[in-house]
Amino acid sequence: MLCSKNLGVNNKKKKNPVLKTVPYTRDLVLVGGGHAHALVLKAWGMNPLPGARLTVINPGPTAPYTGMLPGFVAGHYASSDLEIDLVKLCRHAGARLILDKVINVDQLQNKVMLAERNPVSYDVASFDVGITAKIDLPGFDEYGTGAKPLGIYAKQWNNFVENVKQGKVTPNVAVIGGGIAGCELAMAMAFALHAVGVSPQVTVIEVGLQISGVGGKVRQKMLMAMDALGVVIKTNTRVLKVCVDQVLLDGQDPIAASFCVGAAGGKAHKWISQTNLPQQNGFIKINSDLGVIGDNTLFAVGDCAVMVNVMLPKAGVFAVRAAPILHRNIRAALNGGIRKKWRPQKNFLKLISLGDKSAVAEKFGLTLTGSFMWRWKNHIDRRFMNRLVDLPKMLSPKISGEIAIGVAEMLEANPLCGGCGSKVGRGVLSGALKSVKNSSDNVVTGIGDDAAVLRHSGGGFQVISTDHLRSLIHDPGLMTRIAVVHSLGDIWAMGAQPQVGLASIIVPQMSEKLQARTILEITQVATEVLTASGAQLVGGHTTMGAELTIGFTVTGTKQSMPLTVAGAKAGDLLILTRPIGSGVILAADMLGQAKGCDVAAALAIMGQIQNREAIVLTKTAHAMTDVTGFGLAGHVQEICIASGLDAELWKDSIPTFSGARALSDAGVSSTLMPANRADAPVKGIEDALLHDPQTAGGLLAAVPEGQSEAIIEALAVKGCSGYIIGKLTRGTGQTRLS
């Protein structure tokens, strides 16, 4: 007799738990990738607030850490050592990252206005945008470089050093501003120029009577270090104008300067002055809880903010110390909790780099100098960066109890990625579609090509296709742009003119207010991209589901027979318009292994329409397709099988996205890659990237060899890229890589 205990049955009545997805109800927007916001992102990822949707807005995919800038300039650090990877942090925090500049804030409608994209709505927002060191002097905008923003300065400095090494410019540097920052940079630049074998002339120009911001003992140590490096400081001196190779002074001889740096204190960004935010000298005025005065939905922190009745120097240490309070109070603003006051420390450790691996420290009137202080500073700086690099890896869900056969093996694999063109394997798909036959004389092509081709009774042809993408990033706007481009690829590949698009949208569960914001953003972007492609959005369907999914049914027209994959000829060369490797980059992004700059660069290309490329290629191509989920090898094979040809691909000629090759060689791959490899085997050299599934990939055209170079030139004239990657020969549908 079987008993309930043996069956694992509990005789006590218990309700089965129903797991529900928490709906989004509030939008949090972080403007700027400063130190405090970076720490908030780290903390948010460890403990997100259910129901809050997070957006980060920053001009670039990385943000520099100010503490390591002098060491970078001196050559002690690589640029990657001081870059905070916002893409990785946002992936960790479940946030979308918008790469754009803020130009205004509409406090009445709760919107952040952007330079290039549509406004972003918020329920709570925070500003951590730092400061700028641009100086209002004649000629500075043209010939000078502000020490902040750091990314621009670092790039300009690298270019200057290269030009010095090549003998194109003289190693003469002027630094306007004799505070701690200006002197640190002057010593770092002098040390770096000495290291490349030149004798620099570095001059610090200070309007005051002495180095400001430090005590007498530290000032003396700094002057000794500057003198040892040959750095000259001119105090009580006023600059009149910055010229191409010199700085003009009031009542003194000009200073030779091929590189002029502005470090005369920090100034607020000009866009802040254009807002209605409460301001003091252009800085945002905040209360002791870091909230913007008069607006309980806004916060500001770091150098861009100024606290009422509290005078604080512009130092990154305050932003770092304020981060936990900012995180707490942002959550309180979102959930109706109680805010906490921030009390900035009165004394803090000043660690000043002296050019070489030496530093001087000051706190409580105590001064220490030497290499051991550099090691201590290096320890502090690297510990801070490690906090933002040491992020937990994405793990498969743990399931307890009984499971079906095969579940454990699938969970051990990498999480399902979104960068696979949203496709199942080619073999699975083709097997399922074998029984589908054309049943109408008006259907010219159906199953097996990029899109269906319909014959119009009055003449001409219509091309129709459908595609959708599950969310590969958290940004509905950029996802929409990529999804439209991905869908239109089939229309462009057949040489047709895009006509209309119907949207099919699944959004995660959210409040009506957030539904309206999300759908508006999607439709605005879809309209922009379709209009730029010569088409229009004519409707669609929306629903709510487990995750964001965006798709489009698109049509196009062509008077003559559209291009197919079956028209290629022996001797044709293959032209590709885009790099490959987006699948492996997006898979690595999900795993936290891709560099943020590589992810951002790939997404930017994926979102570009290919109208111009299609127009050029359609004129001469014998066959064309777009490279998407089946990978380059799979789409080459489609042309080969349909045209009765073989293909020889040239590995060194195939373009790849930055970072993709290293990731692939390290064993990173998309979910669909193994199936692609099995469905489209390639002889010769092994290269996993040939099977990497692409989203919004390039056009692949078979063109006459004699016209290939002219086609590449025609693409370049239109500002497009084109790469000759291989050749077609007589055969039976085989592909070889050499």
Q: CATH no. for residue 666?
A: 3.90.650.10
- CATH number for 360: 3.50.50.100
Question: Residue 87: in which H helix or E strand, if any?
Answer: helix 86-93
Name every residue whose Cβ is closer than 8 Å to that of residue 86 and which is 6 or more positions away in sequence: 33, 38, 41, 56, 58, 60, 61, 62, 63, 97, 596
Percentage of the residues of the chain whose pLDDT score is greater than 90? 71
Q: pLDDT band for position 420 (50/70/90)?
A: low
Q: pLDDT band for position 391 (50/70/90)?
A: confident
Which is more confidently placed, 64 or 689? 689
The answer to whether position 64 is within a domain reads yes
Q: Is the pLDDT of residue 14 over 70?
A: no
Helix, strand or coil for residue 134? coil
The answer to whether position 396 is within a domain reads no
Examine the domain organization and report whether 292 and 172 are in the same domain.
Answer: no
φ, ψ for residue 543, nearest 5 deg: -155, 170
The pLDDT value given to residue 682: 95
The pLDDT value given to residue 11: 41
Examine the domain organization and report whether 230 and 310 are in the same domain.
Answer: no
The answer to whether position 405 is within a domain reads no
- CATH number for 43: 3.50.50.60
Q: pLDDT band for position 318 (50/70/90)?
A: confident
Q: Is the pLDDT of residue 2 over 50?
A: no
Q: Crossing angle for the helix pair 35-46 and 316-335, nearest 10 degrees? A: 40
Helix, strand or coil for residue 694? coil
- Residue 184 token pair: 């640190």
H helices of 336-472, where? 371-389, 407-412, 426-433
The pLDDT value given to residue 314: 66
Examine the domain organization and report whether 304 and 380 are in the same domain.
Answer: no
The answer to whether position 14 is within a domain reads no
Examine the domain organization and report whether 255 and 359 are in the same domain.
Answer: yes
What's the domain range around 324? 26-130+268-338
Per-residue pLDDT of 251-279, as tens digits, reads 999 999 999 998 876 788 899 999 999 99
Helix, strand or coil for residue 152? helix
Examine the domain organization and report whether 86 and 184 are in the same domain.
Answer: no
Pick from 715, 728, 481: nearest CA to 608: 481
**Cα gap 466→550, rounded to integer Å:** 11
The answer to whether position 517 is within a domain reads yes
Q: Is the pLDDT of residue 421 over 80?
A: no
Instruction: Write down which residue in 563, 584, 604 finishes a domain.
Output: 563
Percentage of the residues of the chain whose pLDDT score is greater than 70? 90
Examine the domain organization and report whether 94 and 138 are in the same domain.
Answer: no
The answer to whether position 16 is within a domain reads no
Examine the domain organization and report whether 539 and 500 are in the same domain.
Answer: yes
Which is more confidently placed, 45 or 179? 45
529 contacts 609 by C-beta, under 8 angstroms = yes
| Stretch 136-144: mean pLDDT | 91
**Cα gap 90→589, rounded to integer Å:** 11
| Stretch 464-479: mean pLDDT | 92
Burial of 108 (0-12, 13-18, 19+ CB in 10 A): exposed
Which is more confidently placed, 392 or 360? 360
**Cα gap 349→386, rounded to integer Å:** 20
Examine the domain organization and report whether 224 and 370 are in the same domain.
Answer: yes
Q: Is the pLDDT of residue 12 over 70?
A: no
Examine the domain organization and report whether 237 and 364 are in the same domain.
Answer: yes
The pLDDT value given to residue 430: 53
Domain count, the chain: 4
Residue count of the chain, please give it.
Answer: 738
Which phi-psi region, left, alpha or beta, contains residue 241 (left: φ > 0; alpha: ψ -120 to 50)? beta
Q: pLDDT band for position 3 (50/70/90)?
A: very low
Per-residue pLDDT of 583-636, as tens digits, reads 999 999 988 899 999 999 999 999 999 999 999 999 999 999 999 999 999 999
The answer to whether position 8 is within a domain reads no
Examine the domain organization and report whether 609 and 690 are in the same domain.
Answer: yes
Residue type, 83: E
pTM of the model: 0.88
DSSP per-residue codes, 224-281? HHHHHTTEEEE-S--EEEE-SSEEEESSS--EE-SEEEE-SS-B--HHHHTS-S-EET
Pick from 375, 269, 384, 365: nearest CA to 317: 384
| Stretch 389-408: mean pLDDT | 72
Instruction: Write down which residue in 563, 581, 604 finishes a domain.
Output: 563
**Cα gap 482→488, rounded to integer Å:** 10
Per-residue pLDDT of 101-134, as tens digits, reads 999 999 999 999 999 999 999 999 999 998 887 7
Examine the domain organization and report whether 147 and 124 are in the same domain.
Answer: no
Instruction: Write down which residue in 535, 563, 591 finishes a domain.
Output: 563
715 contacts 722 by C-beta, under 8 angstroms = yes
The answer to whether position 6 is within a domain reads no
Per-residue pLDDT of 625-658, as tens digits, reads 999 999 999 999 999 999 999 999 999 999 999 9
Q: How far is CA 530 from CA 116, 481, 533, in A?
A: 17, 9, 5
Q: What is the CA radius of gyration of the chain?
A: 30
Examine the domain organization and report whether 219 and 310 are in the same domain.
Answer: no
